[in-house]
Amino acid sequence: MAEHPSPNWQETQALDVLREMKQDIPVIFLVYGLKRETTAAFILKGAADCIEMDRISHLPVAVHRALDEKALRNQRDRAEKELRRSEARYRALAGNLSYGICRCSLDGTFLEVNEAMIRMLGYTSREELLALDLARDIIQDPGRRAQLLGQSGADVLIDPVEIEWKRKDHATLKVRLSGREVLSEQGELEAYEVIAEDVTQQRELEDHLRRQAASDSLTGLANYRHLVDVLDLEIKRSNRTSREFAMLFLDLDGLKGINDRYGHMIGSQALCRLADVLCSCCRAIDTPARFGGDEFAVVLPETNARKAHQVARRICETVASDTNGPKLSVSVGIAVYPQDGDTIEKLLREADSALYSMKKHRILPAASRHTAAGQ
């Protein structure tokens, strides 16, 4: 309540102060002989009421009316705000064509989904998708839920959640998820909104580019760069586990002669034939690679010298038994970590030295050379 006229306030200054403070507080003016038109001006400026001092008994009624009107305004504002939220949520859910958007309950059950989400997962109706529990595992796991919402106690950036979902046709879909909490008017958590982006093609392209960067374009084997990375990892692994590993260094004998006699197309096919042999003679954990030109290498994890010689012999025999023409043969050098070298450079040098030491025996018949290669 404010007195008018007042030695402390001018006209409706009290209303101006509350408006600047963004405070919705009803103000009742207690006035002395205020003209009717001035009273109307006060009301238009936001006063709840004006009560003549000689009718002070009307004040309780005016207070109750002002409080009731304020409660109605608050109720209307909340309804309008909720309507705006609902409209915004509906526009986001219904109108977004690029991202799947869903609302989940606190236990991860779908409450709402947009058309993009339905199409993304290959369903024809919203009801089918609402019956699934695709987000339940993430929502119910505190750590993954924090990652989904981008929450971190250390105030560091958290990578978005990437998972695989199954479409209705059972095709695998890679999706990147992000989310936010949905609070009620009372500030209580009532739901989660999750945005799903289909990154399947993006990840396939990235994988393809990575494979291209790490593979030889002709043979499809690992290239020199990948070979060096594998050797580095094996050295670190061997240092941790104290287990040996071996590397074979191979040379396709007489490639220049094949190119000169049969042409470079047949020479390229000869390289691919050797690459096929290396793949067939290797385990899943081994890494066959094209070192460059007519030189190849194979990294054999957890392999000692004896087993490495067995693999080399098997490769030589398989190459020799290939019935496709022209006839091929290979020379092989072997190095074992750590006794033949404790760095990549030393291993390569030792294997290369062993290879060219073998090549000095070119005077041997071809079949004898194949046998010697594995010994």
Q: Where are the domains of the chain?
A: 2-81, 96-204, 215-373
Instruction: Assess whether pLDDT exceeds 90 at residue 297.
Output: yes
User: Which pLDDT does position 153 carry in this prediction?
Assistant: 54
Residues in the chain: 375
pLDDT tens by residue, 244-280 = 999 999 999 999 999 999 999 999 999 999 999 999 9
141 is catalytic: no
In whole angstroms, what is the distance from residue 30 CA to residue 11 CA?
Answer: 12
Cα angle at 245 between 241 and 250, to 5 degrees? 165
Identify the helix (H) or strand (E) that includes residue 101.
Answer: strand 100-104
Please indicate whether residue 282 or residue 19 has the higher confidence score (pLDDT). Answer: 282
Lowest-pLDDT choice from 97-101, 203-207, 260-264: 97-101
Contact between 248 and 300 (Cβ < 8 Å)? yes
- Residue 95 pLDDT grade (very low, low, confident, very high; cuts 50, 70, 90): low
User: Which pLDDT does position 358 carry in this prediction?
Assistant: 82
In terms of CATH, what superfamily is 215-373?
A: Reverse transcriptase/Diguanylate cyclase domain (3.30.70.270)
Within its chain, how far is the Cα of 199 from the centroid? 8
Q: What is the mean pLDDT of the chain?
A: 84
Per the residue annotation, which of 77, 294, 322, 342 is the catalytic one? Answer: 294
In whole angstroms, what is the distance from residue 339 CA to residue 267 CA?
Answer: 36
Q: Report the 10 Å Cβ neighbour count for 260.
A: 11
**Protein fold of 96-204:** Beta-Lactamase (3.30.450)
User: Which pLDDT does position 85 carry in this prediction?
Assistant: 66
pTM of the entire predicted model: 0.51
Give the torsion through C-alpha atoms of 271, 272, 275, 276, to 10 deg: -140
Give me the residue label for tokens 């399947």: 200
In whole angstroms, what is the distance from residue 95 CA to residue 106 CA?
Answer: 25
Within its chain, how far is the Cα of 266 from the centroid? 44
3-state helix, strand, coil in the chain (%, to 5): 50, 20, 30
Give me the residue label for tokens 């396709």: 252
Main-chain phi, psi angles of 198, to 5 degrees: -75, 110
Please indicate whether residue 171 or residue 370 has the higher confidence score (pLDDT). Answer: 171
